[in-house]
Structures are given as structure tokens and as C-alpha cells.
């Protein structure tokens, strides 16, 4: 099983990795995401760029303190016609977000970054488009009442594989991206690294066997030469 460090306290992401045979140690980066977002927004950065930067910052920070370890950072944001929407801090904010999304289409952007020794070595960003149905305020309040805190604060106000799917009339994109971790691309990267490691091991083994063969062959050649010389 491939081993990584997950620079996130998200139980959702940890579960996705482990279900796909990628073992992980959890070491949150604890960066100040709000400060980073504010700084990037002041520079007119797009939601996609903000998501990419946050994923990279998380991975780089944790990997700089974990020498030679592979670290995965991730971040997800909602892009509502250019407006950045992050995970809610409380239920009141969650309701306000749902009211903003109500009867409108938005993009959910998920970015992942793999770093080693404080530097990015691979990254990927994907987005999905979701169109929300038209609900009354009471219907949105009733929806929120069904969602436990653990799911509400982990899934950007909607749990796509559960009750959240009922909120949308149209979903275009990868469900894993909506859940915050485009696992198919991560698995492609992991499998590529495993193949490289296996090829290195095979090359080393073949070279070692060649060296052993050469070491064994030299005395044999000398012995054959001496035996031939004795006959003469």
C-alpha cells in the first residue's frame, strides 16, 4: 500500500484515500486560509488560482517538516460567477450560502498538490458544474436540519453522495471532485510512482546479477585456462 501524509484534517479525504488503498498519516498544515484568500483576492486572483495556491501551500508546509516524505495537500472552493465561497463556519452562514446558490449554477473547484521536501512535485485541479433547484427558505432550513455538523462543515454545505444530491437539477463533472478529492488522478500518479519504483528495483536486481555473474565467471575462466595449460 502506497504511503503518504495528508496535510488536512478532513475525514472525508482520509476515507477516500484509504478506500482506494492509499494509506495516510494525517498532519494538518494549520495555515491561515482566510488570510491567504484575502491576500489573493486583493491581487484579483481567480477562485481556481486560489484553490491551487492553498493546496500547494498546505502540502509544501507539511512536507518541509517531513524530509523525504510524500505529502498531499488539497483545497476546494465554490465559484459563483467569480465570487469565492468557502466552507461555512456555522449554520447561519451555511443557510446564507444556500440562499446565494439557490436556483443558480455554480462551479465547485478542487485542487490537489503533492510535495516533497518543501517543493511541489505534482498538482491537479478539476471543477464540476452544479445547478441548484429553486427552494423556499423553509425548504433550505429543513434540509440543513437533516445534516449533522460533521457533514455540513466538511462538504461545502452539501453532501453530494447523500441528501445534498436532492438539491440539484443538474450535475456535470466528477463526483470525487465535488467531494473534494479527484482520486482517479491521484491514483494515476501513485501507480506511476509505484511502476517507477518497481523498474528501479528490477534494474538494480539485473545489474547486481550481472556483477555476480562476472565475479563467478573470472575464476572459472582462470581455472579453465590453467587446466588447458596443464594439458600442454
Distance between CA 228 and CA 84 in Å, rounded?
A: 86
* Per-residue confidence band for 12, with pLDDT thresholds at 50, 70 and 90: confident
CB 29, CB 61: distance < 8 Å: yes
| Topology of the domain comprising 2-195 | Maf protein (3.90.950)
Sign of CA dihedral 174, 159, 31, 101: positive
Distance CA 129, CA 149 (A): 25
User: Of these residues, 15, 25, 34, 75, which one is catalytic?
Assistant: 75
Q: What average pLDDT is seen over the chain?
A: 86
Lowest-pLDDT range, 8-17, 84-93, 170-179, 223-232? Answer: 223-232
176 is catalytic: no
Tell me: the pLDDT tens digits for 34-72? Answer: 999 999 999 999 999 999 999 999 999 999 999 999 999
d(Cα 137, Cα 178) in Å, to the nearest integer?
24
Q: Which of 24-28, 110-114, 164-168, 210-214 has the least mean pLDDT?
A: 210-214
Q: Closest Cα to residue 59, out of 27, 15, 96, 12? A: 27
Q: Which of 76, 69, 64, 78 is closest to 29 using CA atoms?
A: 64
pLDDT-based confidence at 161, cuts 50/70/90?
A: confident
3 confidence band (pLDDT: 50, 70, 90)? confident
202 — pLDDT class (breaks 50, 70, 90):
very low
Amino acid at each position: 500500500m502506497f504511503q503518504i501524509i495528508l496535510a488536512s484534517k478532513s475525514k472525508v479525504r482520509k476515507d477516500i484515500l484509504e478506500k482506494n488503498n492509499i494509506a495516510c498519516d494525517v498532519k494538518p498544515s494549520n495555515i491561515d486560509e482566510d488570510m491567504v484568500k484575502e491576500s489573493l483576492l486583493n491581487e484579483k486572483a481567480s477562485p481556481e488560482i486560489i484553490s491551487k495556491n492553498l493546496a500547494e501551500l498546505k502540502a509544501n508546509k507539511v512536507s518541509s517538516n517531513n524530509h523525504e516524505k510524500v505529502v498531499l495537500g488539497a483545497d476546494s472552493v465554490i465559484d459563483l460567477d467569480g465570487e469565492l465561497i468557502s466552507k461555512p463556519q456555522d449554520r447561519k452562514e451555511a443557510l446564507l450560502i444556500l440562499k446565494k446558490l439557490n436556483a443558480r449554477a455554480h462551479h465547485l473547484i478542487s485542487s490537489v498538490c503533492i510535495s516533497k521536501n518543501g517543493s511541489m512535485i505534482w498538482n491537479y485541479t478539476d471543477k464540476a458544474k452544479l445547478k441548484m433547484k429553486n427552494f423556499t427558505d423553509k425548504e433550505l432550513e429543513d434540509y440543513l436540519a437533516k445534516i449533522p455538523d460533521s457533514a455540513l462543515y466538511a462538504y461545502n454545505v452539501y453532501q453530494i453522495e447523500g441528501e445534498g444530491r436532492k438539491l440539484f437539477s443538474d450535475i456535470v463533472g466528477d463526483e470525487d471532485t465535488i467531494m473534494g478529492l479527484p482520486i482517479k488522478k491521484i491514483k494515476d500518479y501513485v501507480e506511476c510512482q509505484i511502476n517507477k519504483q518497481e523498474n528501479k528495483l528490477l534494474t538494480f536486481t539485473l545489474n547486481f546479477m550481472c556483477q555476480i555473474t562476472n565475479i563467478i565467471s573470472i575464476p572459472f575462466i582462470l581455472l579453465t585456462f590453467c587446466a588447458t595449460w596443464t594439458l600442454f
